[in-house]
Amino acid sequence: MIPVTKAFFPPIEKYQSQLQRIWKNQWLTNRGELVHELESELRDYLNISNITLTTNGTLPLQMALNILGGQGEIITTPFSYVATVSTIVWEHCKPIFVDIHPEYLTIDENLIEAAITPKTTAILATHVFGNPCNVEVIEEIAKKHQLKVIYDAAHCFGVTYKRESIFNYGDVSTCSFHATKLFHTAEGGAFICKNKSLNHKLFYSHKFGHNGPLDFYGVGINAKMSELQAAMGLSVFPYLGEIIDKRKKIVNWYNNYLDASKFQKLKIRQHTEWNYSYYPIILENEEELLRIEKILNTEKIYPRRYFYPSLNLLDYVEYRKKEVSESIASRILCLPLYVEIEKETIIRIAKLMNT
Record the pTM: 0.96
* Angle, alpha carbons 331-333-339 (nearest 5°): 165
User: Domain end: 191, 210, 238, which one?
Assistant: 238
Backbone angles phi, psi at 95, to 5 degrees: -75, 130
pLDDT value for 269: 98
> Which CATH number belongs to the domain containing residue 131 in this structure?
3.40.640.10
Same domain, 118 and 100: yes
Domain carrying residue 84: 12-238
- Burial bucket for residue 209 (CB in 10 Å: 0-12, 13-18, 19+): middle
The residue out of 209, 238, 267 marking a domain boundary is 238
How far apart, in whole angstroms, are the C-alpha atoms of residue 325 and residue 102? 8
**Same-domain pairing of 195 and 330:** no
Q: Are 57 and 188 in contact, with CB atoms under 8 Å apart?
A: yes
pLDDT at 108: 98
Q: What is the pLDDT of residues 10-44, one digit of tens each?
A: 999 999 999 999 999 999 999 999 999 999 999 99
Using CB atoms within 10 Å of the CB of residue 169, give its burial: 0 to 12 exposed, 13 to 18 middle, 19+ buried.
Answer: buried
88 and 50 share one domain:
yes
Task: Looking at the structure, tell me whether residues 57 and 189 fall in a common domain.
Answer: yes
CA dihedral 104, 296, 276, 38 (to 10 degrees): 120
What is the predicted pLDDT for the residue at 179?
97
Query: Is 324 domain-assigned?
Result: yes
- State the total domains in the chain: 2
Whether 252 and 347 map to the same domain: the answer is yes
Q: What pLDDT score does 210 carry? A: 86
* Burial of 117 (C-beta count, 10 Å sphere; 0-12/13-18/19+): exposed
Residue 145 forms part of a structural domain: yes
Output the pLDDT for position 277.
96
332 in the same domain as 313: yes
One domain, residues 121 and 262: no
Whether residue 306 lies inside any domain: the answer is yes
pLDDT score at 355: 85
**Whether residues 190 and 250 fall in one domain:** no
Q: Is the pLDDT of residue 50 over 90?
A: yes
pLDDT tens figures, 167-205: 999 999 999 999 999 999 999 999 999 999 999 999 999
Do the domain assignments include residue 76?
A: yes
7 occurs within a structural domain: no
Q: Is residue 2 part of a domain?
A: no
Please indicate, yes or no, whether residues 85 and 139 belong to a single structural domain of this protein. yes
How far apart, in whole angstroms, are the C-alpha atoms of residue 186 and residue 95? 30
Calculate what percentage of the chain has a pLDDT beyond 70. 100
The pLDDT score that the predictor gives to residue 211 is 82
pLDDT of residue 236: 98
Which 3-state string (H, E, C) describes the chain? CECCCCCCCCCHHHHHHHHHHHHHHCCCCCCCHHHHHHHHHHHHHHCCCCCEEECCCHHHHHHHHHHHCCCCEEEECCCCCHHHHHHHHHCCCEEEECCECCCCCCECHHHHHHHCCCCEEEEEEECHHHCCCCHHHHHHHHHHHCCEEEEECCCCCCCEECCEEHHHCCCEEEEECCCCCCCCCCCCEEEECCCHHHHHHHHHHCECCECCCCCECCCCCECECCHHHHHHHHHHHHHHHHHHHHHHHHHHHHHHHCCHHHCEECCCCCCEECCCCCCEEECCCHHHHHHHHHHHHHCCECCECCCCCCHHHCCCCCCCCCHHHHHHHHHEEECCCCCCCCHHHHHHHHHHHHC
What whole-number percentage of the chain has pLDDT above 90?
97
Can you tell me the distance from the alpha carbon of 10 to that of 242, in angstroms, rounded to the nearest whole number?
A: 11
* pLDDT (average), residues 135-150: 98
Predicted confidence band of residue 218 (pLDDT cuts 50, 70, 90): confident
CATH code of 277's domain? 3.90.1150.10
Asked if residue 3 belongs to a domain, the reply is no
139 and 55 co-located in one domain: yes
Domain boundary, last residue among 193, 221, 238 = 238
- pLDDT band at 290, cuts 50/70/90? very high
Average pLDDT of the chain is: 97
State pLDDT tens for residues 67-120.
Answer: 999 999 999 999 999 999 999 999 999 999 999 999 999 999 999 999 999 999
Per-residue pLDDT band at 206 (split at 50, 70, 90)? very high
The mean pLDDT value for 298-311 works out to 97
Quick one: 179 and 264 in the same domain?
no
Residue 215: pLDDT band with limits 50, 70, 90: confident
Structural domain contains residue 1? no
Q: By the 8 A CB rule, do 87 and 65 touch? A: yes
Do residue 287 and residue 194 come from a single domain? no
Convert the pLDDT of each residue in 224-257 to its tens digit: 999 999 999 999 999 999 999 999 999 999 999 9
pLDDT at 51: 98
Q: Is the pLDDT of residue 212 over 80?
A: no
